Structure 1
Amino acid sequence: MLKRGLSFLLPLVGLHFFIDRFHPIYNVPELDEDDYYGNGSVRADEDIISDFKISFDKDTIEDLKRRVKDGLKRQFTPLENNFELGVNLNYLQNISEPFLNFDWRQHQYFLNTFDHYITEIEGIGIHFLRMNYPVKPGQKKFPILLIHGFPNSFWDFYKIIPVLANPSRFGYDFGGKNTIVFDVIVPSIPGFGFSEKPSKSGVGFVECARIFGKLMSRLGHDRYFIHGSSIVGSQVGSALAAIQPQAIMGLHMSDPYIDVTSSWLFMAKYYWSRSWASFVHYEYSSGLNLHESYYDRPDTLSVAINDSPLGLTAFLMDRWARGTSQNFKTHAQGELQTHYTVDELLTEVYIYWLTGTFPTAARFLYYSRNHPLGSQFSRATIGIPTGIINFPQTPHQMPYSILKLKYHNITRFVEASNGGEFAAIESWKKLSEEIFSFVELVTL
């Protein structure tokens, strides 16, 4: 009986260790160096960098609030006091009061305390924030590109931007003999926030990576770090690291996602790992459960959401709740206000509504998912130093065993004890600490 058991077990163990250690290299596909997504015929970019200020007039804000009031008259009766079937309508009605009392002028003033700029790349005006202090004695400065996710914007990083640019002010002191500081650049993805909306089809994570690489070059940075947040941010950051590995000193990501269907090996490893996890009795988080099928035809959904600020709020709140807690369905507020302030949530809603960018953000997801080179970029091997932090409440957890198939030089991997997908706001101290620790590890 023992011999029969061993004869069954030993090949399984051998197969597990073979699959675990087999790491082929997937080459980066060839990509055009340039394209044009602006209005009209192809022309050269105006490569000047201009100051930018956020400004919306009183009539625009009053129209938004009128639409909210009208929308409240048409709401239906909720079944349960939770998020089981979607956003809790009682919560949506409760949050409508702070929505209507929201002082956009005050928040606009705060947003404009950051230095905003805009420059044209591939026919699109690319908006970005930059915080860059003069170097002091004993400081070692590195440029860092922060890439936001969906459904978010540059606003995600409002807490960590000053920490990265001026760490001593916030009690951070990393870097041994030289304190590490950053020249922080935070662009808005094309069609998100205050970046212009592409006039032509096809802008997804690959094109965004190329555009952001040109942005960093225009700012005079030929070597820099990247941090990418969640699915979209890590996709763009990884594509940029694949396209320009010589320019990237290190790639840091929170909650990255790999499309395992992009490679037979990734698929085999994924399903084998799940089987092995069951065999040895440890928990394994699914990386295939994205719940994003409603973006298959983005313009249809966008007609409704772009017409109703309450519809936009409901969608965003429901999506944020799902990325914040695995127990969001049973909570009256989706646990949102346990982790964020109402002002943080509503500022994001206002940015999406006032810029009218939900449709173009949804299109970006569509073109990313259906990109002709998408699978090749998803599996393309990244050999530069890579740092990863996974937060336990994120719905698309990818384990180390899968991540190392793509990222062959993971120099720092951390499983956080708490937090969810939107770590830059919820867990900003931990995320800041990890970025500093990763850069310190790579550079010292």
Structure 2
Amino acid sequence: MILAVLFVVSLIVLAYFLYPKSEKLEVPKTGYYGSGTPKLDDTTVRPFKIEAPESALEELHERLKNSRIGHQQLEDVPDFEYGFNLKTLLEFKDYWLNEYDWRKQEKLLNSFQHFTTQIEGLRIHFIHEHPPEGKYKKVIPLLIVHGWPGNVFEFYKIIPMLTDPNRYLKDGHSDVAFSVVAPSIPGYGWSEQPKKSDYHDFSYKTSIAKFMKETGYYHIQSTKPDTVGVSLNDSPIGLLAYILEKFSGWTNGEFVSMNDGGLERKFTKDELITIVMIYWLNQNIVSSQRYYKERWIMKLEYAKIAGRYLSVPTGYAAFKHDLGGKITAPLEFAKDLCNIQHYTYFKDGGHFAAFEMPEELAKDVFTFFKKVYSA
């Protein structure tokens, strides 16, 4: 999933509150993904605090200490062309084992307001941050959604910029701020894993585009996610290599040719390992990968609306180094899909834009809002 596309969805939600619906959009009926027969949801919203048990951290320490890494780096391949470079892997292992402090990162995460509720039989976790009381004339709800292999930690820098721009954005003054909701989507982070699939067999078929070298993971996860997931869930080093390899090539394709994968050119070791830790502590790498399987076996009713033109005023942020670059969604193509009122092509930035370029993206969100609000 491409973060820029997810922000299109978010901005559509924003525009929903500003514009009356010109036509009724028929959406699929809700489902039930909890255990057993369907039951009424407990709609109570409860405060939530992240607290990893000490025993889980001790077990992780032992697994890292006793990890088995038996291969050698090819002598003529010093970079990430074959995957995660061994020298860099060992450096991350040493840092994770001897310097990384989960409790420090846990405190950072808990500086946000966390909640859980139940939706379609599943416990759903989300962050909900409001602007300071009385500081802004207008407060607009905004939903921001992560993808794979990320989680809500990607948004820890951009959320304050959206909720309190006059404090956190440089050279900016706004009388508007956002009330931000950032959920852990089902099967990720602290949201419960679905207990039922979304599999429905029908005469509907979809063709898969040609896979390039960065999409091997897509084929694996869209066919047999539970198989590869078993090994990743059992090995912290394997999980780190699998996820952070994407933070190399998907942030900038040129990073693959660097010995260290360019990982610390945009992120810190602490930030990257925290992304991995959230998968590790919640043991949800398998459920997170199932999205790709069910993406290709979507229900017929979802397929019917997948290509429908979206008339709601839409903003689109495209980043040069995201998968596919400009080919991902050039303006001419995007206009055929959505009512594009604001389109920005960033000459830097990749798949994890909110994590990598939070200020630039936050400013663009405000620019879009001012356009549609004043129209």
Instruction: Report the TM range for the smaller structure's normalisation.
Output: 0.7 to 0.9
Following superposition, the deviation at residue 135 of structure 1 comes to 4.2
The answer as to whether partners of 1:174 and 1:437 remain within 8 angstroms in 2 is no
Residues 387 and 329 of structure 1: CA distance in aligned 2, closer, same or farther (over 3 Å): same
Q: Which residue of 1 aligns with 2:356?
A: 426
Are residue 153 (structure 1) and residue 151 (structure 2) matched? Answer: yes
d(CA) in 2 for partners of 1:300, 1:137: 51
One of 322, 326, 336 as aligned partner of 2:263 = 336
One of 406, 413, 429 as aligned partner of 2:337 = 406
Deviations 1:389-420, CA, capped at 9 Å, x for gaps:
1111112322222222211x100111101111
Following superposition, the deviation at residue 362 of structure 1 comes to 0.4
Following superposition, the deviation at residue 153 of structure 1 comes to 0.4
Give 2:109's aligned amino acid: L
Are residue 379 (structure 1) and residue 274 (structure 2) matched? Answer: no
d(CA) in 2 for partners of 1:146, 1:116: 15
d(CA) in 2 for partners of 1:59, 1:95: 22
The answer as to whether partners of 1:145 and 1:185 remain within 8 angstroms in 2 is yes
Give 1:199's aligned amino acid: K
Are residue 88 (structure 1) and residue 18 (structure 2) matched? Answer: no
Q: Unpaired runs of 5+ in structure 2?
A: 1-23, 201-205
The answer as to whether partners of 1:119 and 1:125 remain within 8 angstroms in 2 is yes
Residues 334 and 119 of structure 1: CA distance in aligned 2, closer, same or farther (over 3 Å): same
d(CA) in 2 for partners of 1:438, 1:203: 37
Residues 28 and 415 of structure 1: CA distance in aligned 2, closer, same or farther (over 3 Å): same
TM-score normalised to the size of structure 2?
A: 0.84
d(CA) in 2 for partners of 1:370, 1:328: 33
Give 1:91's aligned amino acid: T
Following superposition, the deviation at residue 165 of structure 1 comes to 0.6
Q: Which residue of 2 aligns with 1:66?
A: 62
The answer as to whether partners of 1:290 and 1:395 remain within 8 angstroms in 2 is no
SS in 1 for 2:144: strand
d(CA) in 1 for partners of 2:215, 2:329: 12
RMSD: 2.5
d(CA) in 2 for partners of 1:137, 1:118: 27
Give 1:193's aligned amino acid: G
d(CA) in 2 for partners of 1:390, 1:369: 24
SS in 1 for 2:61: helix
One of 111, 117, 124 as aligned partner of 2:109 = 111
The answer as to whether partners of 2:166 and 2:172 remain within 8 angstroms in 1 is no
Q: Which residue of 2 aligns with 1:181?
A: 177
SS in 1 for 2:92: helix
d(CA) in 2 for partners of 1:303, 1:150: 17
Percent identity over the alignment is 33
SS in 2 for 1:301: helix
Deviations 1:30-83, CA, capped at 9 Å, x for gaps:
511x22111122110011000101111211101112112222x43310112210
Following superposition, the deviation at residue 329 of structure 1 comes to 2.2
Residues 418 and 128 of structure 1: CA distance in aligned 2, closer, same or farther (over 3 Å): same
Deviations 1:366-393, CA, capped at 9 Å, x for gaps:
1123213354343121110111111111
Residues 385 and 288 of structure 1: CA distance in aligned 2, closer, same or farther (over 3 Å): farther
One of 338, 359, 362 as aligned partner of 2:286 = 359
How do 1:35-434 residues align onto structure 2 when only pairs under 5 Å count?
35-71=31-67, 73-79=68-74, 80-101=77-98, 102-136=100-134, 139-171=137-169, 179-202=175-198, 290-291=215-216, 292-295=218-221, 296-373=223-300, 374-396=302-324, 397-407=328-338, 409-434=339-364
Following superposition, the deviation at residue 289 of structure 1 comes to 7.3
Residues 308 and 98 of structure 1: CA distance in aligned 2, closer, same or farther (over 3 Å): same
d(CA) in 1 for partners of 2:245, 2:39: 41
Higher relative contact order (CA 8 A, sep 6+): 2
SS in 2 for 1:384: strand
SS in 2 for 1:39: coil
SS in 1 for 2:234: coil
Give 1:170's aligned amino acid: Y
Residues 377 and 172 of structure 1: CA distance in aligned 2, closer, same or farther (over 3 Å): farther
Deviations 1:414-437, CA, capped at 9 Å, x for gaps:
110111111111111111111111
More deviation in 188-197 or 320-329?
Answer: 320-329
Give 1:431's aligned amino acid: L
Q: Unpaired runs of 5+ in structure 1?
A: 1-26, 205-259, 268-285
Residues 203 and 160 of structure 1: CA distance in aligned 2, closer, same or farther (over 3 Å): farther
The answer as to whether partners of 1:173 and 1:179 remain within 8 angstroms in 2 is no
Q: Which residue of 1 aligns with 2:12?
A: none
Max radius of gyration: which structure?
1
Q: Which residue of 2 aligns with 1:212?
A: none
